Amino acid sequence: MELLFEKSRCGRGLSLLPACDVPEVQPCDCQLRKDAPRLPQLSEAELSRHYTALSKRAHGLNDGFYPLGSCTMKYNPKINDEMANLPGFTGIHPLQPVSSMQGCLKALDELSQLLCAITGMDDMTFQPAAGAHGEFTGIALIKAYHESRGDMGRKKIIVPDSAHGTNPASANMNGFAIVNIPSAADGCIDLEALKAALGPDTAGLMLTNPNTVGKFDKNITEITRLVHEAGGLCYYDGANLNAVMGVVRPGDMGFDVIHLNLHKTFSTPHGGGGPGSGAVGCKEILAPFLPIPRVVKKEEQYVLCNDFPQSIGKVKSFYGNFLVVLRALSYVLTLGSEGIAEAAENAVLNANYMKKLLEDVYPVAFVDTCMHEFVLDLSQLKKETGCSAMDIAKGLLDYGVHPPTMYFPLIVHEALMIEPTETESKETLEEVAEIFRSLREKAYQDPEALHNAPLSTPVRRLDDVRAARTPVLKYDFEPAPAE
């Protein structure tokens, strides 16, 4: 497919900038660019067709099943987009007087209260732009807390081996050393390993619950008690909240600080790196350290308050990705407390149903009931047929199914991590389970065909390593001809 730059023809297209209705200001010479930007020049029709063609070559939630584990790729109701697109919300400027954006501040405050109620937290910030950014912010709160008490020896954060890679990275970026602890045979935290890791140098523990193998840790209150007893704080990676929202609260499990991926659990379309929100909630003891400015209600007026001397400062410009907050607010208000719990229960039900449909032919990494996702272990299949988790994933593409998460968590070899979500029907789950089963048959009968999959997609199997190592991120203009 031709790129926009290749389709460009000099002089084509038109600019429809409205006439200037404010006094013109002439920038000084040093502010002016020397050369005109090299932008593609196309007509509106060509541009529209280009993006439509691109969109048809991608797979999204509106195209089909998307069981990408740990990502909660559920269908996001369009009403939430519509609410976030209301002109009163999209037409504002972050620097306009607060008296003229009371409704927006109220939306921030309301969602904060609702999500605090859902998670058992006391306060919240929407500044972080993604989950990993929320983790970084939450761990910074833990650091500020220990430092504010003069407790300077706490240099370590404990992270289980099933954790998302962003957990150790966020702790490390805050200057902490990482203590990795192994999982027990059931996929949960090994209590003895935790006890051995705890000490006067423990700043905290980072935990995902249910964890990345889809298990709710049955010892969770004991785990958080042990960490608190050692003087550490507990961080909850809330990327998997879709499994438990409205049913059980991280705050009641003993966690002090959490992040939520509003773009996973609370209805913002994601994938492709679009704007997200890693909202961070915390207990009272950590609230003084939250980023500024904070939305505060003073005598029936919302104000943006910077007067928090212990704050860690800003982690992003202004107030975070506001439209993501609006989608989440619309979603929570539409579902209500019953609907939120029902969504979580159906997510768990769907995962267990699909697991049942597969487990006689694909061994499940950790048996028993799962939460909202489960992990298949394809190492035996690979040994017997030569077909890997990657081959099965690529085979799915030919059936219009987005592959599950592959090779994660790292503690399972040849892992496929499936998260069907609550928005899929029983029929879809059955159809896709049939596809999985037929791909396994194919692996035994004609492994070569699977090594070559996909056959029907716009591009065939990509060289992942080359794509990661030598990404081509910008258009390579031919050198301009000499004058």
Ligand X SMILES: *Cc1c(COP(=O)(O)O)cnc(C)c1O
Query: In 446-478, which residue ranges form alpha helices assigned H by DSSP?
Result: 447-452, 464-469
**Residue 32: half-sphere exposure toward Cβ, Cα within 13 Å:** 8
Shortest reach from residue 387's CB to ligand X, in Å: 27
Mark 238-267 with x for binding to ligand X (rule: CB under 6 A) and - for no binding.
Answer: -x---------------------x------
Give strand pairing partners of 158. Answer: 179, 205
- Nearest residue (CB) to ligand X, 263 versus 382: 263
**Contact present, 214 and 372 (Cβ < 8 Å):** yes
Shortest reach from residue 276's CB to ligand X, in Å: 5
Shortest reach from residue 9's CB to ligand X, in Å: 39
d(CA 142, CA 204): 8
Q: Is 373 in the site for ligand X (CB under 6 A)?
A: no
Shortest reach from residue 321's CB to ligand X, in Å: 11
- Nearest residue (CB) to ligand X, 37 versus 272: 272
Q: Which stretch binds ligand X (CB under 6 A): 28-36, 125-133, 388-396, 454-462?
A: 125-133
Shortest reach from residue 214's CB to ligand X, in Å: 11
Shortest reach from residue 266's CB to ligand X, in Å: 12
Q: How many residues does the chain have?
A: 483
Token output for 56:
């048809």
**Contact present, 412 and 402 (Cβ < 8 Å):** no
Max intra-chain CA distance, the chain: 75
Which positions from 276 through 315 interact with ligand X, judged by CB under 6 A?
276, 278
Structural element, H or E, at residue 304: strand 301-305
Q: Is 440 in the site for ligand X (CB under 6 A)?
A: no
Q: What are phi and psi of 470, to 5 degrees?
A: -130, 65
Q: Is 183 in the site for ligand X (CB under 6 A)?
A: no
d(CA 346, CA 342): 6
Q: Is 237 in the site for ligand X (CB under 6 A)?
A: yes
Cβ-based neighbour number of residue 408 at 10 Å: 19
- Nearest residue (CB) to ligand X, 231 versus 276: 276
Shortest reach from residue 76's CB to ligand X, in Å: 15
Give strand pairing partners of 156. Answer: 177, 202
- Nearest residue (CB) to ligand X, 242 versus 350: 242
- Nearest residue (CB) to ligand X, 69 versus 231: 69
- Nearest residue (CB) to ligand X, 239 versus 378: 239
**Contact present, 282 and 137 (Cβ < 8 Å):** no
- Nearest residue (CB) to ligand X, 164 versus 249: 164
Q: Is 166 in the site for ligand X (CB under 6 A)?
A: yes
- Rule CB under 6 A: choose which of 143, 164, 382, 440 binds ligand X: 164
Residue nearest ligand X, Cβ-based: 131
What number of chain residues touch ligand X (CB under 6 A)? 14
Cβ-based neighbour number of residue 446 at 10 Å: 13
d(CA 294, CA 81): 25
d(CA 376, CA 436): 11
Q: Which residues bind ligand X (CB under 6 A)?
A: 70-71, 130-132, 164, 166, 208, 212, 237, 239, 261, 276, 278
